[in-house]
Amino acid sequence: MLEVVGIATDWVVVAIGATMIALVFVNVCLHVVGRDLAWVTELAELLMVWVTFLGGACATRRGAQMTITEFIDKVPGARRAWADAVVDAFCIAILVSLVWFGINLAIAGWTNELTVLRIPMSFQYLGMPVGCAAMLVWLLWDLARILRGDARDARWSV
C-alpha cells in the first residue's frame, strides 16, 4: 500500500510541475506581446506550495532528504540504528506539529480568498499539512523498520 501511495505522490508532483511549467511558459509568451493572465501567477504560487511539500514527501520516501551526517556517521554498529531512531523521532515530532498548525491555518484561512482566483486561501495552505502528513508516514515507516532491525541500506533502497 505504501508503494502505491509513493508512486501516486511521485506522479502528482510530476503533474503539478508540468502544469506549472506550461502555465508560466504561456504567460511569459503573452508578456512578449504585452498581455498577461493574472490568474496564472496566483495559480503557480498555489501549485508551488503543493509541489514543495509533496516533493519533500517524495524525497523522504527515498531517504533523499537533506541530512548533515558528519557526527551520526561516526556512531558505530547498533548505536547508529538508535541514533537514526532518535533523529526520526525528533523529525516526527516536528512534522506532527506542522500538520497540526497547518490544519489550523487552513481552517482559519477558509474565509480569506485568493485575490484573482477567488477561491479560499485554505487550498493553498493545505499543501503544508498534506505534504507533512505524507512525510510523516514515510518517517514512521522508517522508524518501524529501524526498530525491526533493518539495516540502513535496506531501509532506503527505493
> pLDDT tens across 33-66, in order?
989 898 999 999 999 999 999 999 999 999 888 7
Distance CA 89, CA 98 (A): 14
Distance CA 24, CA 11 (A): 20
> pLDDT tens across 62-92, in order?
988 877 878 888 888 888 889 989 999 999 9
Distance CA 150, CA 131 (A): 26
- Torsion angle in degrees (nearest 10) through CA of 69, 73, 131, 101: -70
> pLDDT tens across 104-143, in order?
999 999 999 999 999 999 999 999 999 999 999 999 999 9
Whole-prediction pTM: 0.88
How far is CA 27 from each of CA 49, 116, 118, rounded to the nearest angstrom?
Answer: 19, 15, 19
Q: Would you state the pLDDT for residue 157?
A: 63
Distance CA 68, CA 84 (A): 12
